[in-house]
Amino acid sequence: MKTVAVLGGGIAGLAASYYLCRSPQVTKVILLESSSRVGGWLSSTRRPDGAVFEHGPRGIRPAGAVGRNTLNMVDDLGLQDEIVPVSYSHVASKNRYLYVNKKLHKMPSGIRGLLQTVPPFSRPLLFNLVKEILVKKGQEDDETIHSFFCRRLGKEFADIAVDSLCRGVFAGDCRKLSVRSCFPLLYNAEQRRGSVLLGMMLGSGTAPVVPPGPLALRSVKESWAQWSLRRGVESLPESIAELLQRSGKVELHTDAPVKEIHPSASDWKIRLEDGLISADHIISALPAKALSSVLPSSCLPLTQRLMEIETVTVAVVNLEYEGSVLPVEGFGHLLPSSEDQAVLGVVYDSVAFPQHNRPTGETTRLTVMMGGAWFHRAGGSLGAVTQGDLLSRATEAVRDHLDVTAAPIWSHVEIQKDCIPQYYEGHAQRVESMRNFIKKENLPLSLIGSSYDGVSVNDVIFSGRTAAEELDSGSNCHN
User: Which of 149, 191, 139 is closest to 174 using CA atoms?
Assistant: 149
Q: Is 74 exposed, middle or buried (0-12, 13-18, 19+ CB in 10 A)?
A: buried
Query: Is the Cβ–Cβ distance between 86 and 108 less than 8 Å?
Result: no
pLDDT of amino acid 171: 98
Is it the case that residue 382 has pLDDT exceeding 90?
Answer: no
Confidence band of 1 (pLDDT split at 50, 70, 90): low
pLDDT single digits (tens) 113-171: 888 888 999 998 888 888 898 899 988 899 999 999 999 999 999 999 999 999 999 99
Prediction pTM value: 0.95
User: What are 214-218's contacts with CB under 8 Å, separation 24+?
Assistant: 214/75, 214/80, 215/71, 215/72, 215/74, 215/75, 215/80, 215/83, 216/62, 216/67, 216/68, 216/71, 216/72, 216/75
Q: How far is residue 318 CA from its own chain's centroid?
A: 18
The whole-angstrom separation of Cα 147 and Cα 141 is 13
Query: Is the Cβ–Cβ distance between 197 and 129 less than 8 Å?
Result: yes
Average pLDDT for residues 173-185, to the nearest whole number?
97
The whole-angstrom separation of Cα 283 and Cα 11 is 13
pLDDT single digits (tens) 390-400: 999 999 999 99
Query: Is the Cβ–Cβ distance between 289 and 417 less than 8 Å?
Result: no
Residue type for 442, please? N
Angle (CA) 25-26-29 rounded to 5° is: 170
Average pLDDT for residues 101-113, to the nearest whole number?
89
Confidence band of 475 (pLDDT split at 50, 70, 90): very low
Residue 168's alpha-carbon distances to 42, 346, 478, in angstroms, are: 17, 9, 31
Angle (CA) 127-131-133 rounded to 5° is: 130
Is it the case that residue 457 has pLDDT exceeding 60?
Answer: yes
Go through the domains of the chain in sequence order and give each one's CATH number.
Answer: 2-44+232-309+424-474 (3.50.50.60), 311-421 (3.90.660.20)
Angle (CA) 412-413-419 rounded to 5° is: 130
The dihedral sign for the CA sequence 423, 429, 432, 436:
negative
- List of residues 6+ apart from 317 with CB closer than 8 A: 367, 368, 369, 370, 390, 391, 394, 411, 412, 413, 414
Is it the case that residue 479 has pLDDT exceeding 50?
Answer: no
The whole-angstrom separation of Cα 28 and Cα 51 is 39
- List of residues 6+ apart from 473 with CB closer than 8 A: none
pLDDT of amino acid 127: 86
Backbone angles phi, psi at 127, to 5 degrees: -55, -45
Average confidence score pLDDT of the chain: 94
User: Which of 42, 33, 37 is closest to 414 using CA atoms?
Assistant: 42
Is it the case that residue 379 has pLDDT exceeding 80?
Answer: no
Higher pLDDT, 332 or 471: 332
Residue 337's alpha-carbon distances to 106, 175, 199, 289, 315, in angstroms, are: 18, 11, 29, 27, 16
Of 192-196, 231-235, 431-435, least confident by mean pLDDT is 192-196
Q: How many CA atoms lie within 13 A of 188 on its CB side?
A: 13
